[in-house]
Structure 1
Amino acid sequence: MAKLTKKQKIAAEKIEEGKLYAPIDAFKTIKEIASANFDETVEGHFRLGIDTRQADQQLRGMVSLPNGSGKTVRVAVFAEGEAARAAEEAGADIVGSAELIEDIQKGIINFDATVATPDQMSKVGRLGRVLGPRGLMPNPKLGTVTNDVAKAIKELKGGRVEYRADRYGICHVVLGKTSFTPEQLAENYGAIYDEIIRMKPASAKGRYVKSINVASTMSPSISVDPSVQRNYTQEA
């Protein structure tokens, strides 16, 4: 186990061991103990009672955060003609087709998200081995394979984040930055919580939300009460 730094020890002492925090209290504590000299990312970790080895218990989607993610998202768009022009006007960072595909095959990946028009997918499909493991493959279920590229770009740049349960049934999701207010973080948390509840697989048995932890980049983890499903910005 890595040895805690002096700052981390001080931060850990401010977190009550065994306590389940109300969301607003958890985010107030995160802001209180944040000590890095940069704007740390705040994440939520939702441990769910699902078996992702089962095809009908996969959990993946995207949700728009009411207060944005605080992250600058570079969007690459696979499109041609009028769709390419629309993408450029909407603020896409990279727009292309054959040349963009060639660059990616060479290992040039300087973007954080992708969008593609449906007619491009026959070409983009060959990039599955490169983009798939990085979570960058356009996906119609996530709204990133679409003819309305302008809308997709706006959502991605405006704070739309992806959630996906890993093989242990844990969703790791960006909630914002430590520069956000506790209320903003709690509102973002609420949007993600509601989405995860809404997407509960029908075949999942037993307790669905087993535990929730939140943390910033450099801070210890804080346990959140998974039973607090409403009034995210109200103290328990």
Structure 2
Amino acid sequence: MAKLTKKRKAALAKVDQNKEYALLDAASLVKEITYTKFDASVDIDVRLGVDPRKADQMVRGIATLPHGTGKQVRVLVLCTPDKEQEAKDAGADFVGLDEYIQKIEKGWTDVDVIITMPSVMAKVGRLGRILGPRNLMPNPKSGTVTPDVAKAVKEVKAGKIDFKVDKTGIIHTSIGKVSFSPDQIAENAAEIIATLNRLKPSSAKGTYIRSVTLSSTMSPAVTVDKSLI
């Protein structure tokens, strides 16, 4: 069993594991108990009352965080030549088609989001076995397969994120950085919760949002009082 550091012990001492905190209080506490020397990510975990094995209970969606993610998002646009300049002007980090498909086939995946066009999906589709496990495969439902690649790039750069429930029924995604204010963290978290409520499957029975926790890269989890969200 790993030995707890002094900082970890101090962080755990500040969190009441039997208490559910108001969202803003939870955001403040996560900032307080994070001792990393770098600007750690703040994550939200939402346990849902769904069975992801059933197709009609697979929760997946997109949300635009009001304060962004705080991350430098690297975007690759796979498009036809006539769209390349639009993608570059919108802020895409990498733009092209065949040359990047070849790079990916050789193992290159040094990007965070890939955006493409419906007309070239026949070419991009063969990258599924590489991009799928890395959650990089473009998908119309997430807005990353679109004829308006410039708009998609701008939205991603502004804080648009894609999330989906995992096999255990949990949504896990980053919602900012520890350097954000408690209000910014809380507002980003509230946007995720609101989006999840809109995505509730009609076939889901019982309590839908079962638990919500906030944490940073190396902090203990803080339980949020979901009745106050």
Structure 2-normalised TM-score? 0.98
State the secondary structure of the residue aligned to 1:44: strand
Paired amino acid for 2:210: K
Q: Which residue of 1 aligns with 2:51?
A: 51
Q: Which residue of 2 aligns with 1:42?
A: 42
Deviation at 1:153, TM superposition (A): 0.4
Over the aligned positions, Cα root-mean-square deviation in angstroms equals: 0.9
Q: In 2, distance between residues paired with 1:163 and 1:8?
A: 29
Q: Which residue of 2 aligns with 1:135?
A: 135
Aligned residues of 1:57 and 1:201 also touching (Cα < 8 A)? yes
Give a deviation string over 1:74-97, Cα, whole Å, max 9, x none.
000110122112111111111111
Q: In 1, distance between residues paired with 2:111 and 2:219?
A: 27
Q: Which residue of 1 aligns with 2:197?
A: 197
Q: In 2, distance between residues paired with 1:10 and 1:105?
A: 47
Give matches, 1:1-236, under 5 Å: 1-229=1-229
Aligned residues of 1:83 and 1:147 also touching (Cα < 8 A)? no
Paired amino acid for 1:65: L
Q: How many residues align?
A: 229
Paired amino acid for 1:181: S
Deviation at 1:4, TM superposition (A): 2.1
Aligned residues of 2:164 and 2:171 also touching (Cα < 8 A)? yes
Q: In 2, distance between residues paired with 1:219 and 1:64?
A: 25
Q: In 1, distance between residues paired with 2:173 and 2:108?
A: 26
Deviation at 1:2, TM superposition (A): 3.3
Q: Which segments of 5 or more consecutive residues in structure 2 lack a partner in the other structure?
A: none
Q: In 1, distance between residues paired with 2:225 and 2:4?
A: 26
Paired amino acid for 1:117: M
Question: After TM superposition, which residue ranges in structure 1, 4 or more long, deviate above 3 angstroms?
Answer: none
Structure 1-normalised TM-score? 0.95
State the secondary structure of the residue aligned to 1:167: coil
Aligned residues of 2:75 and 2:93 also touching (Cα < 8 A)? yes
Q: Which segments of 5 or more consecutive residues in structure 1 lack a partner in the other structure?
A: 230-236
Q: In 2, distance between residues paired with 1:143 and 1:185?
A: 24
Paired amino acid for 1:3: K
Task: Using the aligned pairs only, state the percent identity.
Answer: 51
Give a deviation string over 1:97-134, Cα, whole Å, max 9, x none.
11110000000111110000111100000000000111
Aligned residues of 2:118 and 2:146 also touching (Cα < 8 A)? yes
Give a deviation string over 1:43-97, Cα, whole Å, max 9, x none.
0000000000001000111110000000000000110122112111111111111
Aligned residues of 2:17 and 2:222 also touching (Cα < 8 A)? no
